Structure 1
Amino acid sequence: MLKFLRAALLALGMVAGPCAQAASVLFLNPGTTREAFWVSYSQFMQAAARDLGMDLRIQYADRVPENIVKQAREALQGPNRPDYLVFVNEQSVAPEVLRLAHGSGVKLFMVNNALTVDQAKLLGAQSDKYPDLIGSLVPNDEEGGYLMLKELIRLRPPVAPGQVIELLAFSGLKVTPSAQLREQGMRRALAEHPEVRLRQLVYGGWTHQRAYEQAKLLLKRYPHTSLVWAANDEMAFGVMQAYVESGGVPGKGALFGTINNSPAALRALLDNRLSVLLGGHFSLGGWAMVELHDYEKGVDISRYGGRDRQIPLLQRIDRAQAKRLLALSNTQDFGVDFHKLSAKGRPMSYRYPFSLQTLMH
């Protein structure tokens, strides 16, 4: 009878056993369940958690920064605290999350948007001041914005001397570091190409509808637009909808470039509606899970690539890679053995191989 009772309690997780010891992670997803990017981001994290034996919960903030702060407060000061809180410095919420975490015992990890330079200065964010902030992983956003425009210009037929190429740009949110950095990259490419004239840059808030409404006005104002730079796929499709409604053919009239390897974006690249697509950073959350798994196992993650790391994940996706990523989006594990990426027991020369190529093997 005692054996039976113990087995029943173990099954329910009420007796210390392998299940009870799984590290618990809460990810505060700043997006919505309707955004392909943030959904695939969560799926990749879940695949990593399953493979690594970690307990992952995900809460969506629906692009409302106050929701992130509210969820963080409940997680950090409530009765059911996770071992680790993973979050994004979306709309500059990080200082408030760091304040809420003080004395909570919960370890923090930032992905996609880390502290801005100004925030780091203001907070004096040294590891001794915020010992619970154990690291961050961000993509090469500035380079992504730069590469997108450079490639759009390369694909555009050259113009006669004295003529200009007209560009419209759609950025995300002014207060989000990734949007700021992508815009900086775009302006760096602009400085190298005086023949390209930026007619207007607007903030589409990462959304299809907002960019669509803005594009309807801008395409009337600038009917000779031949390049469209959009900081994410949702906005690119909004602009594309307005462009088609105005009688344009994406890929033949104006060339469109964007970021995010959602299935819709991959298909748009394959049917030439998108001319330039960069992606790969949806995997950041999964790579963060590998580092948290190692930290839990006593690994000094800073020795294998740095405590705060920028990874060159934003790369141009070609047609062969688009087909491969489309196939992967239909699998549960994305074809990645996350255990093999662990630094546990590795020589000091090992570096975490977090890249788009890891998904393309």
Structure 2
Amino acid sequence: MTSPLSGYDAVLLLSFGGPERQEDVVPFLRTVTRGRDIPDERLEVVGGHYRLFGGRSPINDQNRALLAALRTELDARGLDVPVVWGNRNWAPYLADVLADLAADGARRVLAVATSAYPSYSGCRQYLEDIARHCPPGLRVDKVMPFALDDGFVTANLDAVRTARADLVAAGHPDPYVLFVTHSVPVSMARTSGPAGSPEREGHPGGAYVSVLERVAERILTGLGTGGGARPDHGIAYCSRSGPAAVPWLEPDVNDALRTLADRGVGAVVVAPIGFVSDHMEVVYDLDVEAAATARELGLAMRRAATAGTHPAFVAGLVDRLSATAADPVACPTGCCPPPVRPGQPGRSAER
């Protein structure tokens, strides 16, 4: 029987990248902000988040784990195709990985990015990177955003269920669920998704917010299966950056926690469903900043796990790879156009 991936010479796990040690932090941030003329002293402010973790971003180890899990799942299905890893902003750099693949004779590669939602930074920018660095004679097809795939939803549902059960066991019978994703400029959110699509034109947040709401709704439906009551819930955002005059998606997660405390909510699950794994935005913005806010407010908080290497998520990615190999779908013209970028430093959107 022909393998569903037989037309490809390799699968590429494509990600943002992050520093591995203290001396990498500022050079990494220079790469992220290339062309914006941001002085090192301003980059060091953002670099302070990495300094708290020894200068090492969690994203690279998370990608190594996902790479190994994909290899295991492919082997279990008898899919003998190499799996490689490349980053936008740090080693292993995408340009080097593609050059090595071409030098080894690869002619067609299937890429999946560590970003589940439609937006410029989460999808279109990866396509631009591929086009910029792809050697002559090599074709790279990219898997489209996969947030609504069953495996991703199942992984997040299990994580929310576990976090809620932990709070219930600690004496909090009805924890609130606060779904969180990375904030983006409102202008970017509104133009996310294909031009002319109902999700973009008929929704004030475009496809980025619309898909997030649909993922949250499916998780809430899952929590209510078996006669259980759907929990009270909401959506918040983290990692806002850039000048104050530029509107970004709100509310910030810390502001949302303060509002919940004012309402008398006693316990909350913070569910980072906008992230594939424990990026810096999760381990700093949620595990450090939001957790400190919750403690200050007297809120019992549990942070739900990200999809990471959950078996359903990994299996779903391989399903998506196989489906894309059978019918590659190109991103339509006008989908997720690039934003106008002010020359400001920001948190590194590890997506």
Normalised-by-shorter TM-score class: 0.3 to 0.5
* TM-score of the aligned structures, taking structure 2 as reference length: 0.42
Q: Kindly indicate which of the two structures has a greater share of residues assigned to strand.
A: 1
The alignment's TM-score, normalised by the length of structure 1, stands at: 0.41
Between structure 1 and structure 2, the one with the greater Rg is 1
